[in-house]
Structure 1
Amino acid sequence: MQTHRWLRTPDGTAPRISYGADYNPEQWPREVWDEDVRLMKEAGVDVVSVAIFSWARLQPAPDEWDFAWLDEVIDLMHANGIGVDLATATASPPPWLTMRHPEVLPVTAEGSTLSQGARQHWRPTSPVFREYALTLVEKLAERYGSHPGVVAWHVNNELGCHNAYDFSDDAARAFRAWLLARYETVDALNHAWGTAFWSQRYGSFDEVLPPRLAASFPNPTQQLDFARFSSDALRGHLIAEREILNRVTPDIPVTTNFMITGDTKFADYADWAREIDFVSNDHYVTQDRDELAFSAALTSGVARHRPWFLMEHSTSAVNWQPVNRPKRSGELFRDSLTHVAHGADAVCFFQWRQAEAGAEKYHSSMVPHGGVDTRVFRDVVELGRILQSLGDVVGADRDPADVAILFDWESWWGSELDSHPTELLRYRAEAQAWWNALLDAGVRADVVPADAELAGYRVVIAPVLYSVPAALRKRLEAYATSGGHLVTTYFSGTVDENDHVWLGGYPGAFRDLLGIRVEEFRPLYAGETVALSNGTTGSLWSEPIDIVADDVEVLATYDHDELGPAVTRRPVGSGSAAYVSTRLGSAGVGALLPALLEPAGVASELPEALRGEIEVTSRRGAAGRIRFLINRTDAPVELTGIEGEWLHGGETLPPRGVAVVKG
């Protein structure tokens, strides 16, 4: 990541947790803008993202430009003390561009060309699109680079949300160039892809295609490389826009909104984060409320624990889930403050005023269809007041925990490829099961990328670490032998970076470290389970483990004639390495945690009565340590045994409430 820079702060203005939304004034008559400003000031808004989907308004025709309306908007915001996070407006090209240049439209794996009429209908590798987009970026940078109201640049919007994978001829050419840079020779590519199998050997790079629809399973390493390439292609567009912004406006920080949420996996955000001044993220809750905390912790890990920007979340219901329920009382506050607890120094929503037309008109906003006399707007105003009261939090890094969950995008991509032992495996679900179990135990944890520094962690959990290059293998071995306690799971250490199996028996790269050997995987059918001797139940996966080192301790066995040890731990150097060979779910992991954490000296920071009911997270900065206590339940909780200065909330935490304590 570039040197951490934050939103430009106007002279004479104290740093604060920024608060605001996407603002789309072009959707409304001019007279509404003045009311918007008045209400923004009432709510405590100090930043808005502008021009995100404004390309067609800014450039109505190839040789026609209209900046007058945007001039007025930025001037109006600045005059009222509201900073503008100015988007480059390149997310969706205008209809005239795709009609004139249909070759910029994405192509599916089946060969169908996607049409304009929605959003993000462009190829990340299209040179034609790139030329038009960068012309727009340069125009915006030259016009607004000296405007004091612009506090940050917002590159594109949710890069790849609807166009992550393009299989066009442009993509094919760019993929070949990417492969040439990676492998240098076609012989090296053939080795990496294992093309001796199924007569897939290539005579030149010109013969290589993206993994388009084929008669059977496409080459797995080809699929993995295409996932890497697709992430890099989008990152390349980010860099192209950023380079213009940095050249023309070097004093304005640059960001783009990631989508670290749910099963969104097309981008290696740990890699992308190196290209921007500060990390921004969009997150929307599902029925699994603990997923929000996991995603916020992962966003913090990607940001290397520096403050980050919550660019989008919702005040209430969204419009794109199968059933869109409004948030219950207190959830707007809990969701927002949970992100702050994990490092967000800006809290923003999509969007400011709820649209009256278009695909997102039923998506909630800060000013809903019902206007200001609504629960949502009253909560918006109250949240603004709360955020302004938390000045001590501003600039504080996330306080490192004793436990880290290792999260690896390459293992996510690789473990869910086709032609595997099971199609039911879900990488993120396994990682979150460990997170949920730690929450239930009242144990703080970080979620960090695979290249993170691990020396400060007492326990590192690496669930389904499927892809393990030699360098990562050595790093994790060194971590354990030097006093760390490593925990890994089924389908870990299985392949190298080329998706080649580590030979000699599973779990391949970790076999010697763990002192175990598995000849064959034994995945379970949907609904099938296996009982373990410690009273827990496994699903999805099982393995017949052979113990090959004398010092391996068996923590649990399978209650099955064909299976033996299920969970093992081996002392190595001054640390240990443990292995869990089945999916235990959060409850099963929770039953196992004492045996894994106690040898490392890890314990809950919460009184026993609060464990499971309260999530505790902390940040540390100039004001010292600030803890966030988040009620995970729908009942009030008495925060007995918690000492410190109450910055928000008190000893009785309401349902879904959040308390903030200094010290």
Structure 2
Amino acid sequence: MKKIFSFLFVAGFILNAVAQKKPVYFPESDLTITGAYYYPEHWDEVQWERDFKKMSEMGFEFTHFAEFAWAQLEPEEGKYDFAWLDRAVALAAKYKLKVIMCTSTATPPVWLTRKHPDILKMREDGTLMDHGSRQHASFSSEIYRTYSMKMIAELARHYGKDDRIIGWQLDNEPASNVDYGKDAEKRFRAWLKNKYKNIDALNKSWGTNFWSNTYTDFEQINIPQHSQWGMNLYQRLDHSRFCDEETANFLDLSAKEIRKYSTPKQWITSNYIPNYESRYIGNSKQLDFVTYTRYMVYGEHNGTGPKGYRVGEYSRIAMANDYFRPLSPNYGVMELQPGQVNWGSINSQPIPGAVRLWLWHVFAGGSKLTCTYRFRAPIYGYEQYHAGIIGTDGVTPTRGGLEFEQYIKDIKLLRKNKSKAPLPVDYLKRKTAILYDPDNTIAINQNKQTVVWDTEAHVLKYYKALKGMGAPVDFIRDSTDFAQYPVIVLPAYQQMSRKLIAKLTDYVSKGGNLVLSTRTGHQDEQGHLWEAKHAEPIWPLIGAEIEFYDLLKPHASDNVEMGTNSYAWTSWGDVLKPTGNTQTWATYAGDFYAGKAAVTFRKAGKGSVTYVGPDSNTGELEQAVMQKLYGQLNIPVEHYPPGVIVEYRDGFGIALNYADKPYEMKLPRGTEILIGKTTLNTADVLVWKLK
């Protein structure tokens, strides 16, 4: 009996340890939770209780503190004041609001910047940033790192075991740490030495024999002047990698400091702007999951139709969902636009219903939490005229606030109507991955070859085609297990190792289907052109030679002919010569290589490989190729118009309409509709329960 008890005790201890290692931060029964930023330091304390009471009455489940409050947390060096924040946490808890605590490293106090001005970022021209903004201190500054970690440690000691705190946000919208200061230069040299080990290896990788760039010692290397014409491409590329890594490891240091004092129940994240050429996103290994920020109407995107700018470009939330979700077990949205903003080029009013549409779109992608900036609209500071959930009078909900309130009620309805139904079989059959590496994008963008080229726009042509076909999409890296995806798309994957080529070849032989687009495989993983014929290492994979590529003038588009249709192209075209049994699906027209292959397809092993040579002007060619391929593979697809998104999660179907025309959603007879109607007007949402 004693032995059995001992065994059960040990087994229970192990299970408990596993449970502590992987706590459940977001119970499945919640589906998702919703919160709002609040800045106690911005408001008279007599108003706090009124505000938290209103926040709770509107259905919000958590709030968010201390994002930019270092000056209030540490008003003098080494003297900390948490009393005001304690009172705010207590009032939030009184109204059943959990708290996300934020480190305030985006805004150092003035006593620190004046005592140590060298913590400020130095621009390329040698001038220093100054106090009065945010993100003006350098993650590369050793002094700044020291002071930051001291402050974070004090904050974590105070709140790390507080059950009212559900998690931590590190910094705010951290960006690549570009700094030309002395510490940054010193750390860059150390980073290079750690990467290359010896100067000969660096010279070989950077190709320094070109233009007499050769170095004999790491101390000779400065931070490259990115504005200087002809600067070594590989030095610039490595410097951008270093800047991203400085951001990632600063966040890791912050997380480690919190974990010295916090309970495992408290999670740690950071909120990123979805820049798809940022390597630091997902590269902080100490975070429990990632979150993103998304603003949809600020003058930069026209959306669909003449008034589409009021609802926003539908791919912005869709792609952010599909990019962030594969990076961590959970993901969330830490800042979602609550209404009109102030910092864009043209700060229009969103169309009524747009805020609720965005909330549902975030949910549709699988988000575990959604938070909005901010509960109360600011009445002073840089972000005057930025809407909140409550207007400038402090009591009246804005239209966006009412839409948040409605969404929260909708989620409560879903919680009462749980479904254990599996996702639709046809939906899962068209599950597709886009193989994407931000390092590759940066390498292309610093040497585009033509001003017409736009890497993100090129990726979006394939992405939008897939979403129009109703495909669930994951953005993946080359370390991912490819076998789980029937189709993988590689848009403009220019830098490619032989190891990756072998992995892709194996994937195809076992039944996978590859789509490779223009500019793929032209260089090795170091960004060097192959010492071979142009892109020759991928010829056996695609079943064709790439004879050459062409770049057209913006005023002189040519066409690609596929079946009875013609598609205009301008920016880049790989001209193909099929070999063996490779089929030609489309040909070039209008120039000296008219009739040459533009799109090829071959069966290989149990799978297939499609190569799309040109980057079309509108994305219609890419859409036609994808539809033909899925037809050939007997993968069932939908035909949603641009702006209509349909996703499935947790036993529910969600349809969203960003388009300027109504869309009629066809559902099986007897489907239980929980929210909305099958006729979706602009900004409408439809939610139904799966059987």
Q: Same fold (TM over 0.5)?
A: yes
Partner of 1:407: 436
Partner of 1:597: 630
Q: RMSD over aligned Cα, in angstroms?
A: 2.5
The question of 1:62 aligning with 2:92 is answered no
CA contact (8 A) 2:364 2:649 kept: yes
Deviation at 1:595, TM superposition (A): 2.1
Partner of 1:568: 600
Counterparts of 1:225 and 1:633, CA distance in 2 = 42
Partner of 2:672: 645
Deviates most, 406-415 or 367-376:
367-376
Deviates most, 97-106 or 402-411:
402-411
Deviations 1:181-216 (A, max 9, x none): 111111111111111111111101111122125653
Deviations 1:369-405 (A, max 9, x none): 2642542332222122112223378999998652222
Counterparts of 2:555 and 2:335, CA distance in 1 = 37
The counterpart of 2:197, out of the listed 176, 181, 184, is: 184
The within-5 A match list for 1:229-308 is 229-261=242-274, 263=275, 265-272=277-284, 274-285=285-296, 286-287=301-302, 288-303=313-328, 306-308=329-331
The within-5 A match list for 1:491-570 is 491-534=519-562, 535-547=566-578, 549-563=579-593, 564-570=596-602
CA contact (8 A) 2:519 2:574 kept: no
Counterparts of 1:194 and 1:71, CA distance in 2 = 57
Counterparts of 1:616 and 1:201, CA distance in 2 = 55
The question of 1:349 aligning with 2:376 is answered no
CA contact (8 A) 1:258 1:269 kept: no
The counterpart of 2:47, out of the listed 32, 56, 61, is: 32
The within-5 A match list for 1:307-456 is 307-369=330-392, 371-372=395-396, 374-391=398-415, 401-418=430-447, 420-456=448-484
Counterparts of 1:138 and 1:253, CA distance in 2 = 15
Q: Unaligned 5+ residue runs, structure 2?
A: 1-19, 303-312
Counterparts of 2:230 and 2:219, CA distance in 1 = 21
Counterparts of 1:142 and 1:394, CA distance in 2 = 41
Deviations 1:478-499 (A, max 9, x none): 1122111111111111222221
Deviation at 1:40, TM superposition (A): 0.7
Counterparts of 1:458 and 1:264, CA distance in 2 = 24
1:350–1:214 distance in 2 versus 1, CA, 3 Å = closer
Q: Secondary structure of the residue that 1:544 maps to in structure 2?
A: strand
1:280–1:505 distance in 2 versus 1, CA, 3 Å = same
Partner of 1:121: 136
The question of 1:657 aligning with 2:678 is answered no
Query: What amino acid sits opposite 2:314 in the alignment?
Result: R
1:396–1:73 distance in 2 versus 1, CA, 3 Å = farther
Deviation at 1:460, TM superposition (A): 0.8
Counterparts of 1:394 and 1:42, CA distance in 2 = 27
Q: Unaligned 5+ residue runs, structure 1?
A: none
Deviation at 1:506, TM superposition (A): 3.1
1:505–1:316 distance in 2 versus 1, CA, 3 Å = farther
Counterparts of 1:230 and 1:393, CA distance in 2 = 45
Deviates most, 90-99 or 435-444:
435-444
Partner of 2:240: 227
Counterparts of 1:381 and 1:477, CA distance in 2 = 51
CA contact (8 A) 2:419 2:689 kept: no
Deviation at 1:103, TM superposition (A): 0.7
Partner of 2:612: 580
Counterparts of 1:394 and 1:233, CA distance in 2 = 44
Counterparts of 1:155 and 1:224, CA distance in 2 = 26
Deviates most, 522-531 or 324-333:
522-531
Deviations 1:338-392 (A, max 9, x none): 1111111111111111100111122221112264254233222212211222337
Query: What amino acid sits opposite 1:266 in the alignment?
Result: S
The counterpart of 2:145, out of the listed 105, 130, 139, is: 130
1:396–1:176 distance in 2 versus 1, CA, 3 Å = farther
Counterparts of 1:613 and 1:373, CA distance in 2 = 29
Q: Share of identical aligned residues, percent?
A: 26
Counterparts of 1:362 and 1:207, CA distance in 2 = 49
Partner of 1:143: 158
Query: What amino acid sits opposite 1:168 in the alignment?
Result: G
1:111–1:224 distance in 2 versus 1, CA, 3 Å = same
CA contact (8 A) 1:259 1:281 kept: yes
CA contact (8 A) 2:558 2:591 kept: no
Query: What amino acid sits opposite 2:436 in the alignment?
Result: F
Query: What amino acid sits opposite 1:94 in the alignment?
Result: P
1:324–1:514 distance in 2 versus 1, CA, 3 Å = same
Partner of 2:499: 471
Counterparts of 1:216 and 1:651, CA distance in 2 = 56
Counterparts of 2:362 and 2:420, CA distance in 1 = 14
Partner of 2:110: 95
Counterparts of 1:506 and 1:5, CA distance in 2 = 51
Count residues with an aligned counterpart: 644
CA contact (8 A) 1:368 1:376 kept: no
Deviates most, 365-374 or 432-441:
365-374
